A and B are shown apart, each in its own frame.
Chain A
């Protein structure tokens, strides 16, 4: 449980941010310069809080009135954008570093499961300089975990990696989240990352909280139709090896994902751009679209532009935004309560971040 309230001037930048988070991942999301990293530094104690409060698990770490617990007494782990491994220590000793300073009765995270989850067992005797960027970041994740922190901060941990490495590490962060139960505050400007990881998203804009809520709520609201996204959740089914597709089973139907994604049964989220969704009043035939989800129209906002974002309630309750022309809405006679089928192009979906 974390509670953050910051009212502070940093140079010529005013930061006014308040949010709270419970277990799981709380994402700070926003463009660069929106103040995300400053918030992380204040929570970690690397920047002194001038006014506000930082409370973790009921302990006040900083109150802007003279209370400032130094970073090394906060037991808050940080994974930085750069791995920041100690170059003079082996991977093994990097991993064990935080343990030295963790009181025996608070060493909740054991070495083996972390090393196994991150797949770094074969690197233990190497020096950081000999590791690839992705390997370094995996070791940095392990190092932070093994200090058994009560909160883990991640400041754009994937930003300096290429797409393939991100794909490799994102599931590891998911696994850490699910297996070790340490709450995480995750900073990123990548929609796919936060949508996949976070239970709660805090959107920062120019030093303020623009909105906050679940991924599904946060991304459904945007002025620009290309920025409107829905989050659909389901479980991975058995991949179709011949055609390189993986089904995600949802109550409204099967979402087909590009590529072979495992393991079977894992809960996953996909982001669906509103502009990639079409609506039909009958289950269509003779189209190339593979993903057909059943639901009813929940809302059609009034508007005068050429397009409109229709809010569809899928079977099972998930909301899906579909950006369609007003002309089509009129022609099909779409109105709230009407049964529809949402069509999503499978090629628009995959699990790849970015």
Chain B
């Protein structure tokens, strides 16, 4: 049984940290976007939808490169954040979080959007006739009834964030202890002549985590379906 190197353990821990923070930011953001897409009516909605889903179809390296151009220290957004707020994403683990959020967003938004669309709009109407304004109706009716989709989206988004590689390595590189996640560690190991065993072991770990997330999301969805029927 091959042993994992301390560096590999650090990469696993970092991956979980990045994925957890990415999920915490990504779910509220996705819920807002999903609400806009599910209930909003405005010109350019299809385009907006397309932009959100773009990371799904672009080569991840392109997404990472765009992030680097925008959020890098010399990028327009990155320079602004650095000067005014002292926030730097480039080559930091927080940048890995940004990359993970962007890459996971389409998946989370889709799950939540389907869930919001499945909420009976007549219940929201009834809520209005009882005196609840749009915001109250969202938090008291729409959100709780969309909870299964939000949990499914969170689980899938977490798994996606955990495995993100292309955008991450392009945007924040592959710095041990700072931005080297499981995926980057596998890549590094696979490039070195003695790294095969570690690459394989990390791959198995990544597969197990991913599978666990998929099973968990399915179990959540099924439990809610049973509870509501």
Contact = CB atoms under 8 A, between A and B. Distances in A.
A71 B123 contact: no
Nearest to B144: A88
A6 interface: no
Contacts of B125: 46, 71, 84
Given A82-B122, A84-B122, A87-B228, A77 B145 contact: no
A84 B123 contact: yes
A210 interface: no
Interface stretch (A96-104, A181-189, A229-237, A277-285): A96-104
A144 B131 CA distance: 10
B122 A80 contact: yes
Contact of B131 (A86, A88, A102): A102
Contacts of B136: 100-101
B176 interface: no
Contacts of A49: none
Nearest to B229: A129
A72 B129 contact: yes
Interface residues of B, number: 21
B145 A97 contact: no
B76 interface: no
A102 B132 CA distance: 9
Nearest to A44: B129
Contacts of A84: 120, 122-123, 125-126
Interface centre among B129, B133, B140, B228 (most CB of A within 10 A): B129
A196 interface: no
Interface residues of A, number: 25
Contacts of B140: 86, 97
A46 B132 CA distance: 13
Interface string A74-99: 01111010101011100000000110
Contacts of B145: 87-88
A98 B128 contact: no
A143 B130 CA distance: 8
Contact of B129 (A77, A86, A100): A77
A216 interface: no
A88 B125 CA distance: 16
Secondary structure at chain B's binding surface: helix, strand, loop or mixed?
helix
A86 B123 contact: yes
B66 to A, nearest CB: 40
B132 A100 contact: yes
A144 to B, nearest CB: 7
Interface of B: 120, 122-123, 125-134, 136-137, 140-141, 144-145, 228-229
B131 A75 contact: yes
Contacts of B228: 87, 129
B127 A97 contact: yes
A169 interface: no
Contacts of A76: 129
Interface string A13-46: 0000000000000000000000000000000101
Nearest to B134: A72
A165 to B, nearest CB: 20
A70 interface: yes
Contact of B128 (A71, A86, A88, A144): A71
A324 interface: no
A144 B130 contact: yes
A78 B129 contact: yes
Given A86-B141, A88-B145, A101 B130 contact: yes
Contacts of A88: 144-145
8 smallest CB-CB distances across A and B, nearest first, come from: A101-B131, A98-B130, A84-B126, A78-B129, A71-B128, A72-B128, A88-B144, A72-B133
Contacts of B141: 86
Interface centre among B123, B130, B145, B229 (most CB of A within 10 A): B130
A147 interface: yes
B132 A97 contact: yes
Contacts of A71: 125, 128-129
B122 A98 contact: no
A347 B228 CA distance: 46
Interface string A35-65: 0000000001010000000000000000000
A348 to B, nearest CB: 39
A72 to B, nearest CB: 5
A284 B123 CA distance: 58
